[in-house]
């Protein structure tokens, strides 16, 4: 995992941007936009293919995002197409691009000024532009979704995984000149491109170099030459045979599987009334799904999503690089979605005031020191001395630690409730006081049974009911458990009013709320306890925890929990500290199919794809990081259901897979005795 540094470009006499890494122009000196349209749009015959396309989503892949010109041009073209053919089945465009050297934001702005026809798109892109770590970042542009995979293309392409085999409709091969950027134009990359391309899918590239043509032909593409753009004599276009046989998956035991029998009036039920349910519903709504949400309470956000204030920042680990990548990407996507919510008048109290991580003991100091060694951009994470961290916090602290400048707090209950109103105003039905007690399959769909013995039919079901996730027959083997947390609400004081950031230690303290009256202090952590009764013991423990962790600073004596104002919520957690998202696994069938998985792999014998319950999906076990992770998890699940590209790398998807606990054991050759432990 590497933090990528933005590059500063040179400009030649024609004012064309030039890469300092490759000493090559980003596009044609005379007219880069005309070149993009000729080489990639016409080379892949996009308009003609769209006219004859029968699916709802078209997927384009690109090698080299650069200035974003190809993306801007093709999104503009797609909007023209949609305006002319409003009833056409093709509704959405996915654009997947790869970039190792992201351009600095200020230079992007300068370049984009030359394309005023794209001003709406460029403004939105600039608003969400980031200093990335390696991996995928998803950006939304109405009908077009942009996934940029930052990092070395030879490392990132394989991370699209088995799921994306035979899915890409067209490729824009637009890296720098093969002579100057040989790392991109090689057999390993060509093999990945071929694997990902849909049968009958196409490619186009500005180059006609013989070794490029031979390399692409060698992996299976059929190539032909076409007149090049401008003064360039020739370029290449290619196609993948329609009769190509799909490659078997590398990881069939964790292969994500989309919904079956998708239709225009596909009806999806979501069980749950918290933040995971709302953001999943939001992503499904953008795909025009018909959604009904079943909430067992009289209103949403009455359980773990119902606190008055909650911290939002990525959970960084000193011993799990994959989990770090997930939370960093989730945090970036959550910030983007929260900005979207604000722009759509979904109000919620918040303050992105930063989050301070206090190195309050030796163990925590060692952990934060290891985290700092990843070499983060100071815009993302800072390692600060006692004096500097105290300055950020606005109050004296007894230690140094880490600081997230982009973190902060928001009001979870307010966000969830107002987001639910937005969803209802756009056609999502929410049924309250509906405790779903059982699920039964019917043909390709599901019947939901409630506590009153009523039943409801839906084509697909998403289980997002928090700590009750494993209470259905189909999910009883999932190793989730309940964690009770009591958050104290304390009055402010002259000292506490000075607190500028969220403070994290072996608990957390938020800055004063917007009414300047109170702070949230949390939280207790009582495993395997689902009681929501007030606890005097936990109330006092919350106070003692901060006064012990941050000893020797007088202002902590202002912390007073004696009003006994608190809120109790029950979280859903798992031991490996990452959420569950994906297909609901058929445990009994998987244990039967994979009881000899270790030897099947060793002998390189055929292995079945994972047995899952069709059209039954899970999102849960978000623990205490739901504010950070729910938006990206909901978006990924919606994409999975609809068979679209997923904005997470394959290894992260494996880590999120609900079947992971027993698969890990089976891969080691262990027997499954008690799968829920």
CA–CA dist 98, 176 (Å, integer) = 13
Note the pLDDT of residue 13. 67
Residue 250 makes CB contacts below 8 A (sequence gap 6+) with: 162
Q: pLDDT, tens digit, for every residue of 431-484?
A: 999 999 999 998 889 999 999 999 999 999 999 999 999 999 999 999 999 999
Note the pLDDT of residue 22. 64
- In this structure, are residues 278 and 419 in contact, taking their beta carbons and an 8 Å threshold? yes
> How would residue 29 be classed by pLDDT, with cut points 50, 70 and 90?
low
CB atoms within 10 A of CB 600: 17
Which tokens belong to 228? Answer: 């090049």
Q: pLDDT, tens digit, for every residue of 220-240?
A: 999 999 999 988 899 999 999
Which tokens belong to 535? Answer: 């606890």
CA–CA dist 543, 558 (Å, integer) = 10
Indicate whether 606 pLDDT > 80: yes
Q: What is the 3-state secondary structure (H, E, C) of 221-237?
A: EEEEEEECCCCCCEEEE
Note the pLDDT of residue 26. 67
Which tokens belong to 261? Answer: 């029998």
Q: pLDDT, tens digit, for every residue of 256-288?
A: 999 999 988 899 999 999 999 999 999 999 999
Q: Which residue has the tokens 């990206």?
A: 632
Higher-scoring residue by pLDDT: 21, 601: 601
CA–CA dist 413, 531 (Å, integer) = 20
Closest CA to 324 of 630, 628, 5, 634: 628
Q: Mind listing the domains of the chain with CATH numbers?
A: 10-247 (3.40.50.150), 264-303+414-476+576-586+612-657 (3.50.50.60), 355-405+481-572 (3.30.9.10)
Closest CA to 159 of 653, 639, 638, 634: 653
Alpha helices in 501-596 (DSSP H): 536-549, 587-593
Residue 440 makes CB contacts below 8 A (sequence gap 6+) with: 446, 447, 449
Q: pLDDT, tens digit, for every residue of 506-522?
A: 999 999 999 999 999 99
User: Could you give the angle at the alpha carbon of 444 between the alpha carbons of 52 and 297, nearest 5°?
Assistant: 110
Which tokens belong to 502? Answer: 């969220």
CB atoms within 10 A of CB 119: 12
Closest CA to 620 of 568, 567, 584, 673: 584
Note the pLDDT of residue 23. 60
Q: Label residue 107 exposed, middle or buried (CB < 10 Å: 0-12, 13-18, 19+).
A: middle
Indicate whether 83 pLDDT > 80: yes
Higher-scoring residue by pLDDT: 181, 556: 556
Q: pLDDT, tens digit, for every residue of 611-635?
A: 999 999 999 999 888 999 999 999 9
Which tokens belong to 346? Answer: 């979904």
Note the pLDDT of residue 651. 97
Q: Which residue has the tokens 């897979």?
A: 657
Q: What does DSSP assign to residue 453?
A: S
CA distances from 651 to 97, 135, 377, 647, 655 (A): 19, 11, 24, 12, 6
- In this structure, are residues 143 and 91 in contact, taking their beta carbons and an 8 Å threshold? yes
CA–CA dist 161, 154 (Å, integer) = 13
Our CA dihedral for 136, 140, 143, 144, rounded to 10 degrees, sits at -40
Note the pLDDT of residue 177. 75
Q: What does DSSP assign to residue 133?
A: B
* Strand 310-312 versus strand 408-410 pairing type: antiparallel
CA–CA dist 590, 584 (Å, integer) = 11
Share of the chain above pLDDT 70, in %: 97
Note the pLDDT of residue 677. 44
Q: pLDDT, tens digit, for every residue of 300-312?
A: 999 988 899 999 9
* Strand 401-404 versus strand 355-358 pairing type: antiparallel
Q: Dihedrals φ, ψ of 596, to 5°?
A: -115, 30
CA torsion sign, 108 to 110 to 114 to 120?
positive
- In this structure, are residues 93 and 170 in contact, taking their beta carbons and an 8 Å threshold? no
Share of the chain above pLDDT 90, in %: 87
Whole-number average pLDDT of the chain = 94
- In this structure, are residues 388 and 500 in contact, taking their beta carbons and an 8 Å threshold? no
Note the pLDDT of residue 27. 67
> How would residue 673 be classed by pLDDT, with cut points 50, 70 and 90?
low
> How would residue 402 be classed by pLDDT, with cut points 50, 70 and 90?
very high
Q: Which residue has the tokens 């799990």?
A: 320
């Amino acid at each position: 995992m590497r933090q990528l540094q933005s590059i500063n470009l040179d400009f030649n006499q024609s004012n064309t941007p030039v890469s300092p890494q490759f000493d090559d122009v980003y596009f044609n000196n005379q007219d880069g936009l005309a070149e993009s349209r000729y080489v990639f749009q016409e080379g892949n015959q996009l308009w003609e293919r769209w006219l004859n396309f029968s699916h709802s989503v078209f997927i384009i892949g690109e090698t080299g995002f650069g200035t974003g010109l190809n993306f801007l041009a093709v999104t503009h073209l797609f909007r023209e197409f949609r305006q002319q053919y409003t009833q056409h089945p093709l509704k959405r465009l996915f654009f997947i691009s790869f970039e190792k050297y992201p351009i600095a934001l200020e230079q992007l702005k300068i370049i984009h000024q030359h394309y005023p026809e794209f001003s709406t798109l460029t403004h939105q892109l600039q608003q969400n532009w980031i200093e990335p770590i390696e991996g995928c970042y998803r950006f939304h542009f109405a009908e077009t979704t942009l996934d940029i995979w930052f990092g070395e293309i030879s490392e990132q392409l394989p991370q699209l995984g088995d799921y994306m085999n035979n899915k890409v409709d067209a490729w824009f091969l637009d890296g720098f000149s093969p002579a100057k950027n040989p790392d991109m134009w090689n057999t390993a990359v060509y093999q990945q491109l071929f694997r990902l391309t849909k049968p009958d899918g196409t490619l186009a590239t500005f180059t006609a170099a013989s070794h490029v043509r031979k390399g692409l032909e060698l992996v299976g593409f059929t190539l032909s030459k076409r007149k090049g753009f401008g003064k360039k004599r020739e370029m290449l276009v290619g196609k993948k045979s329609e009769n190509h046989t799909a490659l078997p998956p590398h990881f069939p035991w964790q292969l994500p599987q989309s919904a079956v029998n998708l239709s225009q009036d596909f009806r999806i039920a979501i069980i749950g009334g918290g933040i995971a349910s709302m953001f999943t519903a939001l992503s499904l709504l953008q795909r025009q799904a018909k959604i009904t949400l079943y909430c067992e309470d009289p209103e949403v956000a009455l359980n773990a999503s119902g606190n008055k204030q909650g911290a939002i920042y990525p959970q960084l680990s000193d011993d799990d690089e994959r989990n770090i990548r997930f939370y960093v990407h989730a945090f970036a996507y959550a910030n983007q979605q929260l900005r979207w919510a604000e722009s759509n008048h979904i109000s919620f109290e918040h303050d992105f005031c930063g989050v301070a991580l206090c190195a309050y003991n030796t163990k925590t100091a060692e952990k934060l020191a290891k985290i700092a060694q990843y070499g983060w951009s100071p815009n993302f994470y800072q390692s600060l001395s006692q004096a500097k961290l105290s300055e950020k916090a606005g109050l004296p602290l007894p230690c140094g630690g880490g600081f997230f400048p982009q973190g902060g707090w928001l009001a979870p209950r307010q966000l969830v409730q107002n987001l639910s109103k937005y969803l209802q105003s756009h056609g999502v039905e929410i049924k309250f006081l509906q405790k779903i007690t059982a699920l039964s399959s019917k043909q390709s769909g599901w019947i939901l049974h409630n506590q009153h013995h009523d039943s409801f039919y839906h084509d697909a079901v998403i289980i997002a009911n928090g700590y009750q996730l494993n209470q259905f027959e189909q999910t009883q083997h999932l190793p989730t458990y309940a964690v009770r947390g009591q958050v104290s609400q304390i009055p402010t004081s002259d000292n506490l009013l000075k607190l500028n950031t969220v403070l994290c230690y072996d608990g957390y303290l938020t800055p004063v709320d917007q009414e300047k009256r109170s702070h949230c202090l949390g939280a207790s952590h009582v495993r395997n306890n689902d009681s929501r009764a007030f606890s005097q013991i936990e109330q006092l423990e919350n106070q003692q925890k901060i006064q012990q962790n941050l000893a020797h600073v007088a202002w902590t004596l202002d912390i007073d929990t004696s009003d006994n104002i608190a809120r109790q919520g029950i979280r859903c957690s798992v031991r490996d500290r990452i959420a569950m998202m994906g297909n609901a696994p058929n445990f009994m069938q998987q244990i039967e199919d994979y009881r000899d998985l270790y030897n099947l792999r060793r002998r390189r014998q055929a292995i079945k794809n994972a047995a899952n319950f069709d059209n039954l999906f899970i999102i849960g076990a978000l623990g205490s990081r739901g504010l950070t992770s729910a938006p990206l998890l909901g978006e990924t699940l919606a994409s999975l259901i609809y068979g679209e590209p997923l904005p997470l790398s394959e290894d992260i998807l494996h880590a999120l897979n609900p079947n992971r606990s027993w698969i890990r054991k089976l891969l080691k050759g262990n027997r499954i005795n008690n799968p829920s432990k």
